[in-house]
Amino acid sequence: MCLAVQGKIVEVRQTSDDPITGTVATVDFQGSRLEVSLAFTPEARPGDWVLVHAGFALHVLDEA
């Protein structure tokens, strides 16, 4: 069984020229901030909530 955790994107930046695999975000998990790949959710922007598993944002969540 896998576990994914929700967090809020604080910052998005490019780490390489590849627009998909080079996009990473700083995600806030109730005070802990981690760097997460946006390879599977390139549409994610600062302020969005995402579901994160194994260092990848897998889904953009509706804040409500």
Percent of the chain exceeding pLDDT 70 equals 95
Asked if 13 and 19 count as a contact pair (C-beta separation under 8 A), the reply is: no
Cβ 62 vs Cβ 43: under 8 Å:
no
C-alpha angle with apex 7: 12 to 21, nearest 5 degrees? 40
Burial class (CB in 10 A: 0-12, 13-18, 19+), 63: exposed
Please compute the mean of the pLDDT values over residues 34-41 and round it to a whole number.
Answer: 95
d(CA 53, CA 55): 6
pTM for this entry: 0.87
Q: Give pLDDT tens digits for 10-32.
A: 999 988 877 667 899 999 999 99
